[in-house]
Amino acid sequence: MSHQPDLLYTEEEEALRSAVRDLLADHCDAATVQTRAESDEPHDRALWKNLAESMGLAGLLVPEERGGQGATHREAAVVLEELGRAVAPVPYLTSAVVATEALLACEGEEAATLLAALASGRTVGALAVPLSDRAPRDEWGVRADAAALTGAVTGVADAAAADVFLVPTADGLFAVDAGAPGVTVTPQTSLDRTRPLAAVAFDGAAGRLLAPTAAPAVRRALRAGAGLLVSEQLGLSEWLLTETVRYTRERNQFNRPVGSFQALKHRLAQLWLETVNLKAAARGAADALAAGSEDADIAVAVAQAYAAPVAVHAAEEALQLHGGIGMTWEHPIHLYLKRAKADSIALGTAGRHREELAELVELWAP
C-alpha cells in the first residue's frame, strides 16, 4: 500500500469545525430542525446561505482557479461531521459534494460555469439519480433527443432545493435548470424529512451537455459522496452517544442513576468503541479521497461497510436507553434515527459496499 493515511485532524480543520459548530449552535438547534421538517420548506435556506455564501464552504472541493476554496475532502468531511451532529437540513452532501464532484469530472465551458456557481453557494445542484444508487446504472431513466430530455427519476435527495439538475442519460450528462419548462419536481413523503426526496420528471426539457458519457462523472460523484457520508454518520453517532451518556447519568430509577447499571454501561462502552473505530474509518476515507490515492476505492468501501450499522446502532441504542421519552415526537432522537436509517441505504447499503470490497481485495465470492 503506497499511501500512509493521516488520520488526525489538523489545527485548521479543528478551527473549521468550531466555526461550523458555533454557527449551527446559533441557527440549527433541534427544535428548529423539527419545526422546519414539518413545514412546506424543509430546507433551511438561511443556514445554507450562511454556510455556503458567508463561510464559503460550498466550494471546499473546488480548486481556487475554478472558483472554489481549494480545500480537500478532509475539510469537507469535518463540515459533514458537524452537519451530521446537528442533522442540519441543508443540501451540503448533495450539492457541495455529489453534484460538485460530478462537475469536477467534466470539461468545457458549461461545466466550468456551473461549477463556479455551485462553489459560490448561490446555486444548488443535484445529481438526478436515486439517493440509494451506489454506482452508475446500465440504463438511465431519462433519455435525450438532441438536447431535449424526457423521463423521470424518483428518490432524488434535496431535489426540492435544487436550482439545477445534473442528469445522466445514455447520450451524456446534461444540466437542466429546475425552473425550465418541462421540469416537474414532486416531493415524496420521506423517512428522513431532513434530507427529503422528490421525483423529478422531464418532459422535453432543454438540457445543456456537460460530458458525452455520464458514467465517469457519476462514478466519481457517488464515490466521493459515499466516502464523505461516513463523516456525517460519525457526527450523528457522536451526538447520539454523548446525549445518551448525559441522559443516563442524570436519569434516576431505583434510587440511582440508570447509567450506573452495568447492563447499560457495557452497551454504552460498546457503542463508544464502535464510534472510535468509525472515526478512524471516516478519516481514512476522507484522507484517501483527498490524496487521490489508489487506495481510495478500498478506503471508501471499508468505511461505508462499517459506518451504517454503527450509526443505526447508535440511534437505536439511544432511543432504547432514553426509555419512553426516546419514543416521542418531541425529543430529537427520532430525527437522528431517521437520518441514520436513511443514510444506511443512501449511496449503497453496507452489504453492497462489502460486495464491492470483496472484488477489490480479491476475496472472491463462491
Partner 1 sequence: MSADAAELRALTQEFLAAHPPASTPREEFLRARFDAGLAWVHYPQGLGGLDAPRSLQAVVDAELTAAGAPDNDPRRNGIGLGMAAPTILRYGTEEQKKRFLKPLWTGEEVWCQLFSEPGAGSDLAALGTRAVLDGGTWTVDGQKVWTSGAHNARFAILIARTEPDVPKHKGITYFVCDMTDPGVDVRPLRQITGEAEFNEVFLTGVKIPDAHRLGEIGDGWKVAQTTLNNERVAIGGARIPREGGLIGLAAKTWRERPELRTQDLHQRLVKLWVEAEVARLTGERTRQQLVAGQPGPEGAGMKLGFARLNQEISGLEVELLGEEGLLYDDWTLRRPELVDFEGREAGYRYLRAKGNSIEGGTSEILLNIVAERVLGLPPEPRTDKDVAWKDLSR
Residues that bind partner 1 (CB under 8 A): 1, 5-8, 245, 248-249, 256-257, 259-262, 264-266, 268-270, 272-273, 276-281, 283-284, 302-303, 305-306, 354-355, 357-358, 361-366
- Closer CB to partner 1, 122 or 249, in the complex: 249
What's the min distance (Å) between Cβ of 292 and partner 1? 19
Question: Is 216 within 8 Å of 274 (Cβ atoms)?
Answer: no
What's the min distance (Å) between Cβ of 317 and partner 1? 13
What's the min distance (Å) between Cβ of 309 and partner 1? 9
Question: Which residue from 346, 316, 345 is spatially nearest to 333, judged by alpha carbons?
Answer: 316
**Angstrom distance (rounded) from CA 342 to CA 192:** 6
Question: Is 11 within 8 Å of 163 (Cβ atoms)?
Answer: no
- Dihedral over Cα of 74, 123, 344, 89: its sign: positive
**Residue 57 DSSP SS3:** helix
- Closer CB to partner 1, 271 or 346, in the complex: 271
**Angstrom distance (rounded) from CA 291 to CA 266:** 38
- Closer CB to partner 1, 329 or 364, in the complex: 364
- Closer CB to partner 1, 49 or 354, in the complex: 354
| DSSP letter (8 states) at residue 327 | G
What's the min distance (Å) between Cβ of 260 and partner 1? 4
- Closer CB to partner 1, 20 or 305, in the complex: 305
**Angstrom distance (rounded) from CA 137 to CA 127:** 13
Place of cell 441522559: 247
- Closer CB to partner 1, 75 or 356, in the complex: 356
What's the min distance (Å) between Cβ of 8 and partner 1? 5
**Angstrom distance (rounded) from CA 236 to CA 241:** 9
Question: Is 307 within 8 Å of 234 (Cβ atoms)?
Answer: yes
Q: Residue 239 corresponds to which cell in the numbers above?
A: 451526538
What's the min distance (Å) between Cβ of 57 and partner 1? 25
